[in-house]
Structure 1
Amino acid sequence: MKQQLALIDCNNFYVSCERLFRPDIRKTPVVVLSNNDGCVVSRSNEAKAIGIRMGQPWFECKELAKEHGVLALSSNYALYADLSNRVMSILSTYSPRHEVYSIDECFVDLTGTAKLRDVSYQMREHVINWSGIPVCVGIGPTKTLAKLANFVAKRHPRSKGVFNYNDLNEQRQAKLLGQITVDEVWGVGRRISKRLAEHNIHTVEELRHAHTPTLRSEFGVVMEKTQRELQGIACIDLQEVVPDKQQIISSRSFGSMVQDVDVLKDAMSTFVANACAKLRAQESHAALIQVFLHTNRFRKDLPQYMPCLAIPLPYPTNDSLAVNKWAGFLVEQMYKPEYQYKKAGIVLSEISPVTHYQGDLLAPEITETGSTKLMTAIDQLNQRFGRGAVKISTQGAHKGWQMKQERKSPCYTTNWNELPHAQ
């Protein structure tokens, strides 16, 4: 039986989340901006139509936005994450085999499902009725073809948001893939598509029938897997269980330049808290931390300094207080007052499950019972009342480093004080 693998992708997800609580902007061109309101990371169809590009710096399109009445909003990640969880929860009811691929995409294995087309339309209606988020469904025998089917479902009105590649015969498949440029293939971006063009590969159909040994030698085994996926041979399995992270990074660009060491340590405390919370969520601990500071590389008129230091911990831990002490020490070692800093972050490495602990024969046994209970209590309170409800003592005293969010909408679903009021 041919595999029926569906990719459900939320349409213009960040914009759809914002419009859910703002019916007055459902026909207004809308864009959502990245951290510090820097670049466009989500666009409504109206914004796409007037020529605003994904990833375009906001300052470049301000005039165009002003001319067409574009509404720009800051990213509201708490809102997006909550609505994503609702969408994924709905989709999980359609099959025990599913994979949440990203915040707005989910693979669902519908192999053996009777009346597959009806179920696909039912899935779309179910999601929009229960969460308010519009989605499209693409179905194919492999992940790569399911992604392409979703691409077709989004762009062709006749599909009405659902497209099944498996319904096409070989001739119609070849015709369809011959009309899609190769840069639309999952994992093939602009740079790789330019290199493929040097081998006269411009469309998906040409990539599907390209000389395999040449592809492998020029682009590696990943491209060979992509080609086989386009041929209907599944090479990328569903990840029903998300593997634990082997490295956790928490960093951010500052809203304004920072020159005070105490402000840097305040920012680092926030990064430590976020990274250690992720570490505890997967029941792991880390044995190595790395801290980095960056000046603004785009400011050629300013002196540049980008130090990075790593230190092995005395013993693996996920205790925010212990990690914060060492992170603060590293910041002090790297800090030079003559520089203006624009970004900082922490990297946790040598991660292992908390059940795996390598002791030291020459040192007394370390027990973290008290700190474990404290961290558990902090995590539970922050989950209940929102991130940052309980903080490290060195966290939150300074505001100058925090990112710009001048256009941020309320946290409609995650903050009691910002719940919408019905009138």
Structure 2
Amino acid sequence: MMALVDCNNFYVSCERAFNPFLEGKPVGVLSNNDGCIVARSNELKALGVKMGSPMHLLPPQIRRQTVLLSSNYALYGDMSRRINEVLAEFSPHVEVYSVDESFVGFQGFEPGTLEERGQQIRQTVRQWTGIPVSVGFAPTRVLAKVANHAAKKNDVFRGVCLLEADSPVTIALLKQLPVTELWGIARRTGERLQVMGIETAWQLREADPKHIRRRFSVVQERIVWELRGQPAIHLDDMSEPKQQIMVSRSFGRLTSSPHDLREALRQHACRAGEKLRKQASVTSAVMVFVRTNPFRENLPQYRNRVVITLDRPTDDSRELVAASTQGLRKLWRKGYSYHKAGLMLLDLSPKANRQLTLAETPQTEADAQRSERLMATVDKLNRELGRGTVQLGLSRQGNAWTLRSERRTPRYTTQWKELLCVR
């Protein structure tokens, strides 16, 4: 058996853990630059506010009774770390799936004791961190997702649901669950399944696995086996290396300064390099793009992009920064107020066992090892001491590209100057 432990309304719960005044109130957490709502309390959901709703389009009667906060990612990331440390007290097998979800292995535990252990997990996490969680037990990851969904949505389970592979409760839940709500079934895949007459999770479970594999992929076949209670999926199966990596962000305010764009692209290139190395890939080309704000119709409009081909496939952030700077020189036009800049890494390939081509500039073995050691050291320092500890160049104070976060609460657990004060 394994459990999926999922934090309830995680971003909102993190804010409430340090501000009890928010309990029972409609609370929303905003996206970068305070644009759209990316997390909602149950009270805000009850008011009919949809995920992704632009803040400026909320009706006045809802705005007056709602507390809207800027994203506080430093706080959320540290609270996620603390929750997983609590989970490790219950089992040594903890797999972090996302910032608010983790799979916990309970192999060898008596099935009859698991629901009680689930309640203990909920109580301990709530007591030690202030975050409410739901727990779903099942023999496979896909069924654990279903169990967690039931634990969260159905009060009869009291926050903990245990599903055996062939129990009447499991069958009833699968017959009610739309296939598009299953973990690993994307919208387009769900539409194709519905054309085949497969509309519920139960119908997918009863389908021929080999036929599903021929029509879709091996991942969808494994989902069928998982629904039948046979473990077939590892987390790596659900997180295949990306074929492209894009990093971009709207600016906090419009800017006509090339220095602002250069700094923003440098930060984006470093972040893209970090993602590239994490999935053990290299890139052969970088697409750089800039644009003005299309909603400011009173201002001159300009948008453009350029692809910079690299001398050789690389994962070195320094080379990505150089490519982004070269691209900006080709794109920059005076007289425009820029709103966004970003880059996309193209033509990704696995770093291991990569074959050299005649077109690329060769690199000595010593230079390659030096680059790899440097990037590994940078990644380790930023991972252990916090992102941005080691940077390629410093950013100027008051630059235009820094995110607007006028409603951000203190980073209570990661900044000495923002520690909670008790009077």
Q: What residue number does 1:53 align with?
A: 50
Distance 2:334 2:5 in 1: 50
Task: Count residues with an aligned counterpart.
Answer: 416
Q: Deviations over 1:214-266 (max 9, x none)?
A: 655654444333233222232212559x9988865432222334443222101
Q: Deviations over 1:362-405 (max 9, x none)?
A: 87665489988987887677667754455443533562122221
Distance 1:76 1:266 in 2: 22
Which residue, 70, 76, 93 being the options, matches 1:97?
Answer: 93
For 1:82, the aligned partner's letter is: D
Asked if structure 1 preserves the Cα contact closer than 8 Å seen for 2:163 and 2:169, the reply is: no
Q: What residue number does 2:405 align with?
A: 405
Asked if structure 1 preserves the Cα contact closer than 8 Å seen for 2:312 and 2:362, the reply is: no
Which residue, 131, 135, 154 being the options, matches 1:137?
Answer: 135
Which residue, 259, 262, 284 being the options, matches 1:262?
Answer: 259
Which residue, 102, 115, 122 being the options, matches 1:124?
Answer: 122
SS at match of 2:134: strand
Which 10-residue stretch deviates more, 256-265 or 101-110? 256-265
Task: Give the TM-score of the pair, scaled to structure 1.
Answer: 0.82
Asked if structure 2 preserves the Cα contact closer than 8 Å seen for 1:319 and 1:372, the reply is: no
Q: Deviations over 1:124-149 (max 9, x none)?
A: 22222222211111111221111010
Mapping of 1:145-294 within 5 angstroms? 145-166=143-164, 169=167, 171-210=168-207, 215-216=212-213, 219-239=216-236, 249-276=246-273, 286=282, 288=284, 290-294=286-290
Q: Deviations over 1:40-69 (max 9, x none)?
A: 2111111111111222333333435225x1
Which 10-residue stretch deviates more, 357-366 or 101-110? 357-366
Residue segments in structure 2 that go unaligned for 5+ positions in a row: none
Offset of 1:294 from its aligned partner? Answer: 3.8
SS at match of 1:137: strand
SS at match of 2:303: coil
For 1:295, the aligned partner's letter is: R
SS at match of 2:85: helix
Distance 1:244 1:190 in 2: 20
Distance 1:293 1:111, change over 3 A: same
Which residue, 17, 21, 36 being the options, matches 1:24?
Answer: 21
Distance 2:201 2:365 in 1: 59
SS at match of 2:126: helix
Distance 1:132 1:355 in 2: 47
Distance 1:113 1:126, change over 3 A: same
Distance 1:303 1:263 in 2: 18
Which residue, 315, 318, 330 being the options, matches 2:316?
Answer: 318
Asked if structure 1 preserves the Cα contact closer than 8 Å seen for 2:125 and 2:132, the reply is: yes
Q: What residue number does 1:66 align with?
A: 63
For 1:134, the aligned partner's letter is: P
Q: Deviations over 1:80-103 (max 9, x none)?
A: 111111112222343333321111
Which residue, 5, 16, 32 being the options, matches 1:8?
Answer: 5
Instruction: Quote the sequence identity (%).
Output: 36
Asked if structure 2 preserves the Cα contact closer than 8 Å seen for 1:99 and 1:239, the reply is: no
**Alignment of 1:40 onto 2:37:** yes
Distance 1:353 1:193, change over 3 A: closer
Q: What residue number does 2:324 align with?
A: 327
Distance 1:175 1:420, change over 3 A: same
Asked if structure 1 preserves the Cα contact closer than 8 Å seen for 2:274 and 2:379, the reply is: yes
Offset of 1:317 from its aligned partner? Answer: 5.9
For 2:48, the aligned partner's letter is: G
Distance 1:354 1:263, change over 3 A: farther
Distance 1:200 1:297 in 2: 44
Residue segments in structure 1 that go unaligned for 5+ positions in a row: none
Task: Give the TM-score of the pair, scaled to structure 2.
Answer: 0.82
For 2:105, the aligned partner's letter is: D
Offset of 1:122 from its aligned partner? Answer: 1.7
Q: Deviations over 1:279-334 (max 9, x none)?
A: 67x597856451421426854956453413133246846354x5433321221123
Which 10-residue stretch deviates more, 15-24 or 359-368? 359-368
Distance 1:254 1:366, change over 3 A: same
Distance 1:315 1:39, change over 3 A: closer
Distance 1:112 1:77 in 2: 36
Offset of 1:189 from its aligned partner? Answer: 4.8
Distance 1:285 1:155 in 2: 39
SS at match of 1:166: coil
Q: What residue number does 2:77 align with?
A: 81
Q: Deviations over 1:153-176 (max 9, x none)?
A: 00111211110011862x333222
